[in-house]
A = this chain, B = another copy of it.
């Protein structure tokens, strides 16, 4: 491939299924991928582009000149290009949009104006529609003209001159009907549709519930404004499942997935929750102090729940992220990469939590004791993070379900480890201070 054989590269891009080409190119550096892709016609580029991960698309557009990029955007389907444009640098979007054909441009601007996570933001305007009073024969002829530019022609929507949605017809029914029949005789009149401002989760649920290939989207005057197709609905369902999994594991939901999210963003989205949970756990210390106002000897008990919770929470986070990434096939065969990343994140988060616990503990139990708590929190969080990430990977290698080692079990193991670290640190510190 790297022989710069222009014709060969062009053929490589056009002969295979776009999703397969995208998969091969995504394993290369963006620069390399573009060197291959630039030889393909714009229409093929527009087909391949949406199959790239969104973060890979954003990297690629930086390399593509504005003129070829505007051509690619013209060729991409409505919902895919809006996904991309929403993630690009706004200045760059403006420059590129100026080069895009007028009709496409106003369509893009309209789709961009719908709120994120609404039906409008995931729909495409490239639906097939026909009037009600034509014959099946004429319908098939008109459909042939529309077909090349439509996302799907398998579902046909029947509208009046004002674009009001009157009925629905599947291509299957159209093909089975007599050529002279008029569409209004065979169309289904009660069309199940969604509103343009409906939540995307509702749209995905409706498509799943009725096993549709696509669902029509109407505005508040029942005018057809777009369709959402089954593949976009499936993406939404995956996104929502990932978001729920992340929230349950106490991670701010990641937009780009575990692998594509930059180090410090990942650390931030986990750290925020760990800090909140640390404060919640320090309240437990306060409650314990009320029941057991330690006089020198029992200060270790006060912080026992907090220390153990820190390790368990850190472990749950990394386990949740790795398990979800494995389910989405993001991380295939990158074990050492993950381990190294989690050690660094664990140490960073451990250091931050240790600092906060130092302050909390110092106010409650004085300097020497709080140093034990601080050191323990750092170690427990680092070890907890790493083992939470490694356990699912190990289970997968053993051929088991990575989710099997559930978060509570990770927390239980981390509890045991936490006790060992806590008491060992304490006795080491006591010895240190005694000898000093």
Interface 9-residue window, one of A106-114, A363-371, A409-417: A409-417
Q: A17-B192, A409-B277 are in contact. Are A241 and B241 (CB under 8 A)?
A: yes
Whether A63 sits at the interface, judged by CB under 8 Å, is: no
Are the CB atoms of B245 and A244 closer together than 8 Å?
A: yes
Are the CB atoms of B247 and A248 closer together than 8 Å?
A: no
Whether A10 sits at the interface, judged by CB under 8 Å, is: no
Are the CB atoms of B16 and A403 closer together than 8 Å?
A: no
Contacting A234 at CB < 8 Å: which of B153, B234, B280?
Answer: B234
Interface residues of A in 409-430 (CB under 8 A from B): 409, 411-413, 415-416, 419-420, 423
Q: A175-B140, A175-B144, A309-B412 are in contact. Are A288 and B210 (CB under 8 A)?
A: no
List 15 interface pairs A-B (beta carbons < 8 Å), by A numbering.
A17-B190, A208-B234, A208-B235, A230-B234, A248-B323, A248-B403, A248-B407, A250-B406, A250-B407, A283-B416, A284-B412, A288-B423, A301-B301, A309-B411, A313-B408
A23-B209, A301-B301 given. 11 additional CB < 8 A pairs? Answer: A144-B176, A147-B172, A237-B241, A244-B401, A248-B407, A250-B407, A250-B409, A280-B412, A281-B412, A309-B408, A309-B411
Render A242-277 as a binary contact track against B, CB cut-off 8 A, 1 for contact: 011101111000000000000000000000010011
Identify the 10 closest CB pairs spanning chains A and B, nearest first.
Answer: A280-B412, A211-B231, A291-B423, A247-B403, A241-B241, A19-B210, A250-B406, A244-B403, A250-B408, A313-B408
